[in-house]
Structure 1
Amino acid sequence: MDLQFKEASELERKMGIEIYLTTQDGIGGRIRTLLSDFIVREVLRSGLRAEVSPKWPSGSLPGKGSFLLCTLIKKGIDTLTAARELARALGIPNGLISFAGLKDAKAITAQFITIRGAKPGQLELLSFRNMLVVPVEFTTKPVNPSDLIANEFGILIRDIGMPSTDALVRLEAILGDLKELGGMPNFFGHQRFGTHRPVTHLIGRELVLGRVKEAVELLLTYIGPGEGARAREARSYLADTWDLKGFLELLPKGMFYEREVARHLIKRPRDYHGAIRKLPIKLRKLFVQAYQAYLFNRFLSSRAKEGLPLSEPLPGDWVVLLDEHGLPHRAVRASRSNLGTLRGLIKAGRASLALPIPGFRQEGSGGRQGEIEEAILEEEGISPSDFKVKAMPELSSPGQLRPALASFRLLEDPRVTGDELNPGRRAVFLSFRLPRGSYATCLLREVIKPRDLIKSGF
């Protein structure tokens, strides 16, 4: 396939996502008109699948150990907020709740969590407006990211203007081209950065560079393109005056993290380290990880734009061997002596070209790809060793390799129906499975080709 790429929107380019891999126009439309239009279910290595409508168990739970494995079903809130609300309701520290993956707020999601020391009877007494926690079994260890192998999605794309047959033909052409290429581009998706306010990676960069004061200022004052009027007013006021008390009066009630940081600075005006540490450690790590994700996205975009292959290694490239679940388990450096073997493994679906997520332990690529990475890091003023974060050592990140492409598997044939919310328009239902860590929105953006990310529901 001749690779000539469409350029991404300005907002996506701020996230390091600079191109589309498919050349066809998209089908248009909008995702997440309703929360029920975007369903996510986790699949664990053990074979357990999280269900959106699980039954409450009858009788004693299986398993043994001090960790209670549960299904968390949530609607309209993110995983960190859900975990915080659950911990508060149980009267326990946040750290006693573990999860395998972060799930988006703008969806109905079913995921697994463990609660240390909890009993099923405690959960029966809880009632939440936007989530449900159902016990599954006892286990001897907390759930963690390595337990997760895949996510399954059920997505309804609404408000499509073209006729049903045309939409289906175009959809099948896009998916077919991605299959021929070897998968979808494995960008870190929009929610890693925040579509309405893409600031997490910018905060992460300041933390990596040791500029904690600047990181706090970005957290409080950066105005995103999709923010509401009250939030914009509060941030603009603070940027102009640094009047933290006035900022708190203007701040919308839901902005919990900004409120905590501002209150700390009122008590201790120059303690920026203490202020950022008012945020949960998982959120602070997310800032650094978002910056790493931005750099990876730029590496992948630049490789594609240079015309270097995404499904074949060149000398100096990294290749990861894949396990039976399609997940990386070993890295190999491509050389002239092993190039044929590695290309054969990739064609057989047992390996993948990989690019580095920069960190203090992760070696960069060699060859032309290595030159691309070095140029981007130099432009950013960053060295891999900077990810041993001296200003805040608990945020240090070793880096790792990530496949350049992600395989996707349709769970059923796509369906085109009428859109009951938009008479005269069409809706497309897509159900598919992705390896853990890959983003559904990165497949959906290829299908839709959104002109306006925010209006299109991303």
Structure 2
Amino acid sequence: MTYKQDNIIIFKDNSEKEIEKFAGIGSYATSNIKGIGGIYKHTYKDFIVREVTKEGEILRIRDISTKSHFSGELDDDFTEFNLVKINKEPFKAFNLIASALKVPISHITYSGLKDRCSISVQKVAVKGNHIEKLNNLKLRDIFINNISPSRKSIKLGSNKGNHFTVIIRNIDNDIDVEKRNLKVFDMLSNNGFLNYYGLQRFGTFRPNSHIVAKHILLNEHENVFNELVLNTYSSESIQSQLVRNKLRQDGDMEWAYANFPNGLNYERMMIHHLKDHEKDFKGSVQKIPSYLIKLLFSSFQSYFFNKMLTLRIKKGISPFEPANGDVIVILDDDKGSLTSIKYIYGGKYDVFLKEAIRLNRAYIVIPLVGYDTKMDEYPLMNKFFEEVLKEEKIDSLIFKCELFRQYEFKGAHRAMVIKLSDAKILEVSKDDIFQDKQKVKIEFSLPKGSYATMVLRELMK
């Protein structure tokens, strides 16, 4: 149960399940199988993310660098490297690298963002020749290897996927972990799991990115400040709650700027502006970096995706079988990516479409609504979209606003269900941290854009 009291959002027991509901995540693909319980990400070492390149190579955390040089004959405009970061927020890592190389952060390109609480490795490119500087770069919890010249930047979403190695801890000893996990792995590999956007999209402890985005899109500048800076969530740290509550009570921007933790850097940007420009909420919103605006708008789209998927299942419509009015998109032969070829289920091609889905050559999709999305082209999901709009008290015109156009949120679609691959139980053993408990070490691969946490919630419940 979640409720609001005096600008405080309170989650029952601050459980992840309650926080997930706040972000629209409300159903399971394996509701008939009991979970194993436990916790993940107790330490960053328990969560390892390795990017899978478009060629299918799983990057290694430890890699041997070979010295490369820019060629005068080739059109080498970029330097490519493997970035290994340890328990580091991705944009903080990119900012540190950009500062060390003395380039704007816009010169750094990557295929996706990796979890903060993890050990991760991914391909990154930076504009220009930075081989020597990168070879000598020394930054805390950031390691760089496999440096080479490249003719091009790295496009967002250009990787094939990610490979995860995860330890789940604090599991009761009387649970047959291997038996339950194998059942879940079997179902998720054959039928698939619900391709929700995970809490990382919304904020793990303050899951309000979509709410901030809504206020930005509606030009409600003071509400943006209130939601981003003042409103508190029971799931965030006590220190954060205290400073937010004090600022809400006395409005002292000077005190707030001096006392808000450095980690709350976006809040501090807005506070700093209001400290010098009283009540200029519009100006404070303009201090939010464009990359964060894009993430906020993405979370707004993601929230509607999650809500539509949950609503579909609550109405008893299977996510694993196409229903009349579903949109089915054919996959690219080479990359396995969604193409622009789509069909509406409920016609003469139904037999072929069902077979294509079975063979992993097509997906049932839900729209990521943008300014160019025509919802009447998604007959079934349009009904759920209208219900979500009504529930959220939002006009559909919000998706047609100028800001969505300015930031190029044209619209797209996303697979409703994704099948797990390469899933294995590596080890079940005594937990070395929690007394009289057991732990399990697992690994699996996911295509780009899918969240490991959505697999873990199916296992743990």
In the superposition, the TM-score normalised over structure 1's length comes to 0.90
2:251 pairs with 1:242? yes
Provide Cα deviations, 1:390-421, integer angstroms capped at 9, x if missing partner: 35853351221100001111254442122222
Which of 137, 152, 167 aligns to 1:141? It is 152
Secondary structure, counterpart of 2:232 in structure 1? coil
The equivalent residue for 2:227 is: 218
Q: Is the 8 A contact 1:230 1:250 kept in 2?
A: no
C-alpha change, 1:140 and 1:346, in structure 2 (3 Å) is same
Rounded to whole Å, the distance in 1 between the matches of 2:364 and 2:389 is: 21
Cα displacement (A) at 1:277: 3.0
Amino acid at match of 1:150: G
2:158 pairs with 1:158? no
Moved more, 132-141 or 426-435: 132-141
Cα displacement (A) at 1:47: 4.0
The equivalent residue for 1:52 is: 61
Provide Cα deviations, 1:223-261, integer angstroms capped at 9, x if missing partner: 122322221111111222222112122211322221122
Rounded to whole Å, the distance in 2 between the matches of 1:33 and 1:10 is: 19
The equivalent residue for 2:274 is: 265
Q: Is the 8 A contact 1:41 1:109 kept in 2?
A: yes
Secondary structure, counterpart of 2:233 in structure 1? coil
2:415 pairs with 1:403? yes
Q: Is the 8 A contact 1:387 1:398 kept in 2?
A: no
Which of 349, 357, 360 aligns to 1:338? It is 349
Amino acid at match of 2:167: L
Secondary structure, counterpart of 2:336 in structure 1? coil
Secondary structure, counterpart of 2:348 in structure 1? coil
Rounded to whole Å, the distance in 2 between the matches of 1:322 and 1:17 is: 26
Rounded to whole Å, the distance in 1 between the matches of 2:95 and 2:60 is: 22
The equivalent residue for 1:455 is: none
Rounded to whole Å, the distance in 2 between the matches of 1:56 and 1:261 is: 42
Q: Is the 8 A contact 2:129 2:149 kept in 1?
A: no
2:37 pairs with 1:28? yes
2:188 pairs with 1:178? yes
Cα displacement (A) at 1:184: 0.8
The equivalent residue for 1:167 is: 177
Rounded to whole Å, the distance in 2 between the matches of 1:230 and 1:8 is: 20
Q: Is the 8 A contact 1:32 1:107 kept in 2?
A: yes
Rounded to whole Å, the distance in 2 between the matches of 1:118 and 1:424 is: 54
Q: Following superposition of structure 1 onto structure 2, how do residues 285-304 of structure 1 map, counting pairs within 5 Å?
A: 285-304=294-313
The equivalent residue for 1:4 is: none
Which of 409, 423, 431 aligns to 1:419? It is 431
Rounded to whole Å, the distance in 2 between the matches of 1:10 and 1:299 is: 18
Amino acid at match of 1:134: N
2:332 pairs with 1:323? yes
Amino acid at match of 1:191: Q
Secondary structure, counterpart of 2:409 in structure 1? coil
Amino acid at match of 1:437: G
Q: Is the 8 A contact 1:233 1:250 kept in 2?
A: no
The equivalent residue for 2:76 is: 65
Q: Is the 8 A contact 1:356 1:363 kept in 2?
A: no
Cα displacement (A) at 1:64: 4.9
In the superposition, the TM-score normalised over structure 2's length comes to 0.90
- Structure 2 gaps, min length 5: 1-14
Secondary structure, counterpart of 2:432 in structure 1? coil
Cα displacement (A) at 1:323: 2.3
2:388 pairs with 1:380? no
The sequence identity of aligned pairs, in percent, is: 28
C-alpha change, 1:359 and 1:191, in structure 2 (3 Å) is same
Rounded to whole Å, the distance in 2 between the matches of 1:222 and 1:111 is: 35
- Structure 1 gaps, min length 5: 1-6, 450-458
Rounded to whole Å, the distance in 1 between the matches of 2:287 and 2:364 is: 39
The equivalent residue for 1:308 is: 317
Q: Is the 8 A contact 1:207 1:389 kept in 2?
A: no
Q: Is the 8 A contact 1:8 1:18 kept in 2?
A: no
Q: Following superposition of structure 1 onto structure 2, how do residues 425-444 of structure 1 map, counting pairs within 5 Å?
A: 425-444=437-456
Moved more, 288-297 or 304-313: 304-313
Amino acid at match of 1:190: L
The equivalent residue for 1:454 is: none
Rounded to whole Å, the distance in 2 between the matches of 1:9 and 1:157 is: 16
The equivalent residue for 2:5 is: none
Rounded to whole Å, the distance in 1 between the matches of 2:404 and 2:170 is: 46
Amino acid at match of 2:157: S
Q: Following superposition of structure 1 onto structure 2, how do residues 94-133 of structure 1 map, counting pairs within 5 Å?
A: 94-133=105-144
2:82 pairs with 1:82? no
Q: Is the 8 A contact 1:210 1:390 kept in 2?
A: no
The equivalent residue for 2:26 is: 18
Provide Cα deviations, 1:62-120, integer angstroms capped at 9, x if missing partner: 97511111111111122111111111121111111111101111111111111101321
C-alpha change, 1:138 and 1:382, in structure 2 (3 Å) is farther
Q: Is the 8 A contact 1:68 1:135 kept in 2?
A: no
Secondary structure, counterpart of 2:123 in structure 1? strand
Moved more, 287-296 or 376-385: 376-385
Moved more, 326-335 or 303-312: 326-335
Cα displacement (A) at 1:8: 8.7
Moved more, 283-292 or 260-269: 260-269
Amino acid at match of 1:131: I
Secondary structure, counterpart of 2:402 in structure 1? coil
Provide Cα deviations, 1:165-188, integer angstroms capped at 9, x if missing partner: x111111122223334x2110000
Provide Cα deviations, 1:322-366, integer angstroms capped at 9, x if missing partner: 224432123322232222221111011111111111111123364
Rounded to whole Å, the distance in 2 between the matches of 1:118 and 1:49 is: 26
Rounded to whole Å, the distance in 2 between the matches of 1:61 and 1:307 is: 59
Amino acid at match of 1:121: E
Aligned residue-pair number = 441
2:197 pairs with 1:188? yes
For the aligned residue pairs, the C-alpha RMSD in angstroms reads 2.2
Q: Is the 8 A contact 2:109 2:156 kept in 1?
A: no
